[in-house]
Structure 1
Amino acid sequence: MEALSDRLDQAVAAQNERLGRTLAESAERTQESARRIHERLAVIDAARANIEALGGQVTTLAGILGNKQARGAFGEVQLRDMLADRLPAEGWAWQHGLSNGTRCDALIRLPFPPGPIAIDSKFPLEAWQALRRAPDEAARAAAERRMAGDIRKHVDDVARKYVCPGETAEGALIFLPSEALHADLHALFGPLVAEAARRGVYLVSPGTLWAVLGAMRALMRDVRLRSEAQHLRREVARLAEETGRLDRRVASLKRHFAEMQTDVQGIEITAQKITAAGARIEAVELAEAPVARAAE
């Protein structure tokens, strides 16, 4: 009985040790899975915050200079103010150097397609000013010929320098600092403007550039939203993977508990049988004791 009891105690102790070790390992795996889930949830919250920040981003209108007939740096100042007002800081670069060795006044960083778009703001104003100040028809005709030559040469320079296949978009922009200049070019030199457009060089005024920059800003925001959405989708997939792993580990833990319960029930049955056997043995000894005394 003592040996049987010792073996029973050893079996119960071994079962308890194995059960404790299994429960500890399962608890560690469960804690690790929970920690990873919390990390993924933190990343998802950060991505959601970025999306909300992008959705609620609002730009303010800055003081745009009026349509003055100026020259030199006037176009650059006006262009830079408009870019700063309409586009995020990372969406454009000022005085950007291209791989062909040229430097454009501004580069709008759009994704392919269409790709980054270079902007030139140094349109020659001398011929246009001479045209507006022409005292007679002869001077006006001479100013128109000069202006047509200036337009064609400037378009050639922009198309050659600022359109780089694989690096920039297939077109470039020429910023005209005056709505009046833009209107005169389309009214007096329509064929030249159309020819420039066929070569991928587009002449924009402050008003048209304002609308173009609004469309570009929407495109940039859409690209960033798609990027954040893809990142969020990847994180959700990882979270689903961790959740599946947690489900499998919980199922394994349930299986271990079921096995433990079966073993405990088996131990209880064995103990009951041993107790019953001991009771039967004790009953036999009590029955044989009077017979032995009578024989003496």
Structure 2
Amino acid sequence: MSLEAVIIIGVVILGFVFLYIFLKRNQPSDDVLEIVKLLQSTAAQDRETLLSTLQQHTHSLNARLDRAAEVIGNVQKNIGEMSEIGRGMKEMQEFLRAPKLRGTIGEHILKELLTQLLPKQSFHLQYKFRNGATVDAAIQTANGIIPIDSKFPLENFRNMASAATEDEKNKFSKLFASDVRKHIKDISEKYILTQEGTIDYALMYIPSEAVYYEIVNSIPLYEYAGKLRVLPVSPTTFYAFLKAILMSYEGQKIEKQAQEIIRAFRALQSDYQKLDGSLSVLARHITNAYNATASVMTNFTTLGHRLTTSLPGKQEEDDQLKIEE
């Protein structure tokens, strides 16, 4: 109850007390009756005001309680959703405990990256070598086959990350390094087969960026991988690697097209040389024919001149006939 309401009630009570004492001492008069009526009217108005104020406060309080209940309901709903997410994460963690299932996930991600970036004819999944070994993927390049095997050494990495003490962390760090070394050695021995057309290094695809950076930030592990000619790659670095391979394919395509253009020009050059030879022969024949024609014309002209000069003319023949007559 507010201070204002308490004061009003106190004033009303004091009024009634004062009235009671006054009436005890004297007989009520008209003025007193008027005062009593006025006090009763004022008390009634004060009660109505007080009730109205209380109702307003009650309504406001109920509205706030409704909003609070709504907020609490939303919070409970969100807590339920977070619990579902937590259960889902726990189930995912349990799912990833099985090495074979982790390997399946890594192979699937590897397949998706290859399919999205490279031409279908440029790579093979589950590529089998003649010695019976099967690698997760193999990329065909001009220099040879690039073998790629997916590895996901998660168990000891997770133990290392959740270790409570420094000793436990060092223990699991050594176990993690041992797991990675084993994977590197297996890839190097099984899949770098230059006698079967591979290049002299292989890729170890690691589906987790966190696991990848733990490996490459360890100088001993990175040097060991380099010594055995195994290159660790994560989804991000493998994407960049594939883009470089794709650019080399484009370069090879351009080079092939350039070679085809050069071959076409060489064929055109050969045809030109043949045509040039034929035109040269034709020109010689035309020149010879022209020379022969000119020689014949010259001889013909000379013969005509001789005939003209050796025979008597028509006037001489007429004079000779007159003499004979």
Using CA pairs under 8 Å that are at least 6 residues apart, name the structure with larger relative contact order, 1 or 2: 1
1:88 aligns with 2:119: yes
In 2, Cα distance between the equivalents of 1:158 and 1:123? 13
In 1, Cα distance between the equivalents of 2:193 and 2:316? 113
1:250 aligns with 2:317: no
What runs of 5+ residues in structure 2 fail to find an aligned partner? Answer: 1-91, 97-101
Which residue is 1:218 aligned to?
Answer: 247
The one-letter amino acid of 1:80's match is: K
- The within-5 A match list for 1:119-134 is 119-134=148-163
In 1, Cα distance between the equivalents of 2:202 and 2:176? 20
**Structure with greater helix share of residues:** 2
Q: Secondary structure at the match of 2:131?
A: coil
Please report how far the alpha carbon of residue 154 of structure 1 lies from its aligned counterpart in structure 2 after TM superposition: 1.3
Q: Secondary structure at the match of 1:264?
A: helix
Which residue is 2:214 aligned to?
Answer: 184
User: TM-score, length-normalised on structure 1?
Assistant: 0.64
Please report how far the alpha carbon of residue 205 of structure 1 lies from its aligned counterpart in structure 2 after TM superposition: 0.6
Counterpart contact for 2:146–2:203, Cα < 8 Å = yes
In 2, Cα distance between the equivalents of 1:287 and 1:90? 104
Runs of 4+ in 1 over 6 A off after TM superposition: none
> Cα distance 1:164–1:278, how it changes in 2: closer, same or farther (>3 A)?
same
Please report how far the alpha carbon of residue 206 of structure 1 lies from its aligned counterpart in structure 2 after TM superposition: 0.8
Which residue is 2:106 aligned to?
Answer: 75
Q: Secondary structure at the match of 2:251?
A: helix
Counterpart contact for 2:122–2:139, Cα < 8 Å = yes
Please report how far the alpha carbon of residue 285 of structure 1 lies from its aligned counterpart in structure 2 after TM superposition: 7.2
* Greater Cα offset, 255-264 or 240-249: 240-249
Q: Secondary structure at the match of 1:202?
A: strand
In 2, Cα distance between the equivalents of 1:116 and 1:287? 109
1:154-180 per-position Cα deviation (integer Å, ceiling 9, x unaligned): 111101111012421111111111111
Q: Secondary structure at the match of 2:225?
A: helix
Please report how far the alpha carbon of residue 183 of structure 1 lies from its aligned counterpart in structure 2 after TM superposition: 1.9
- The within-5 A match list for 1:189-208 is 189-208=218-237
1:168 aligns with 2:198: yes
From 103, 110, 132, give the equivalent of 2:141.
110
What runs of 5+ residues in structure 1 fail to find an aligned partner? Answer: 1-67
In 1, Cα distance between the equivalents of 2:315 and 2:118? 104
1:75-116 per-position Cα deviation (integer Å, ceiling 9, x unaligned): 12221222223323333222222232212111122223xx32
Please report how far the alpha carbon of residue 196 of structure 1 lies from its aligned counterpart in structure 2 after TM superposition: 1.5
Which residue is 1:262 aligned to?
Answer: 291
Counterpart contact for 1:100–1:161, Cα < 8 Å = no
In 1, Cα distance between the equivalents of 2:117 and 2:166? 42
- The within-5 A match list for 1:34-45 is none
Counterpart contact for 1:95–1:104, Cα < 8 Å = yes
In 1, Cα distance between the equivalents of 2:298 and 2:225? 97
The one-letter amino acid of 2:212's match is: H
Counterpart contact for 1:171–1:201, Cα < 8 Å = yes
The one-letter amino acid of 1:151's match is: V
The one-letter amino acid of 1:78's match is: I
Counterpart contact for 2:151–2:183, Cα < 8 Å = no
User: TM-score, length-normalised on structure 2?
Assistant: 0.59
In 2, Cα distance between the equivalents of 1:153 and 1:290? 136
